Structure 1
């Protein structure tokens, strides 16, 4: 009997690899945002409004990966492809973030302009942000090209006779929940940081020099 594509050992391995990639995408964004926090608190540099918008866009790129992780056991939702929705959210968020970071790069592109903040590894944070957004678009495009069975977790739920035993709400492994918790802490930390910097003001100064909430 011909082995079904979804049951081929190499195909099952690819499903696990893609699941790992989704988690790495989320954790990678968390790592970038932690680096931004290090610059903010260890070096005492306050993020500008464009910096905060770039952080928000990075968070939204990770939401696409989380959507695929949590809904990957489904083929479609309301007629829409789960994979298309997830990567689509990541690409759209990355495009918005790319426009924001590119604008900040162009603001300081004039020769002799020192830029905003201190460089890290030779580049300013907004330049690194532009690279991150371009990487998200590239990875999303590659993952869309190498399409797969959208039932990401289906191989995890097989009964003894080989029948599908996927529950209505697909269970997630412990490392997925750990990833979600880390991501949630990062979101909360960004929200608290932005609120402390802006306080109850409607607008944040172009070049903030203090946490307005405590003034």
Structure 2
């Protein structure tokens, strides 16, 4: 009984983490659509890393616990952490202008570095806790048996992944990601010259 309760609490913690990733992706859309700050190449890649991080957690909640799902999430967190750190180093020189808005005095790439690093530890701890037993829940656990808020978090995450893919396509088309300072959505811009 106590082990089952602990597994349920860990599952809820995992769903809360997936919901947090969804909120981060929503915040990114807020800055993109409301504040008019189009994501640069680093920002788009960091969003992809958030999608990878959430995908492993999502697979755990839909198909049951599998250590490889934590590996997928961990890889997303590790690559996202390194990209954010690289972004921080690119903006470290005093002559470089910071990119994007500051939130509580720190820019988004600094926040994403801290979040990805914490997420990497989260994946390691969750994999360790789940590894204490051979099988915690059977694969193919019915999605219908889940609480409504679990279904809502899953639907939000899947919708945000789709929205990010559409946004990246509208911004860059079939071309490579733009380096930064992009002012227009390439696929929606009707001007003669596309200026960054």
Separation in 2, partners of 1:12, 1:197: 46
- Residue in 1 aligned with 2:103? 120
Contact 1:200–1:213 under 8 Å retained in 2: no
Aligned to 2:77: 94
TM-score, structure 1 normalization? 0.79
Larger radius of gyration: 1
Moved more, 97-106 or 177-186: 177-186
**In the TM superposition, what is the alpha-carbon distance from 1:203 to its structure 2 partner?**
4.2
Q: Which residue of 1 aligns with 2:186?
A: 212
- Inter-partner Cα distance in structure 2 for 1:150 and 1:186: 33
Structure 1 distance, partners of 2:125, 2:147, is: 27
Deviation larger for 126-135 or 192-201: 192-201
TM-score by length of 2: 0.86
Deviation string 1:27-81 (CA, Å, 9 cap, x unpaired) is 11111111111111111111100100000001101111112112326xxxxxxxx
Q: Which residue of 2 aligns with 1:64?
A: 56
Shift of residue 174, structure 1, vs aligned partner: 4.3
Q: Which residue of 1 aligns with 2:40?
A: 48
Deviations 1:139-170 (A, max 9, x none): 1122233234353345xxxxxxxxxxxxx843
Q: Which segments of 5 or more consecutive residues in structure 2 lack a partner in the other structure?
A: 190-196
Partner secondary structure for residue 214 of structure 1:
coil
User: Does residue 1:190 correspond to 2:164, yes or no?
Assistant: yes
Aligned length: 185
Does structure 1 conserve the Cα–Cα contact (< 8 Å) formed by 2:63 and 2:140?
no
In structure 2, relative to structure 1, the CA distance for the partners of 1:150 and 1:40 (3 Å cut) is: farther
**In structure 1, C-alpha distance between the alignment counterparts of 2:135 and 2:59, rounded to whole Å:** 13
SS at match of 1:137: helix
Give the Cα separation in 2 of the matches to 1:203 and 1:153. 41
Would you say the 8 A contact 2:39–2:180 is kept in 1?
Answer: no
Distance in 1 (CA, whole Å) between partners of 2:99 and 2:14 is 32
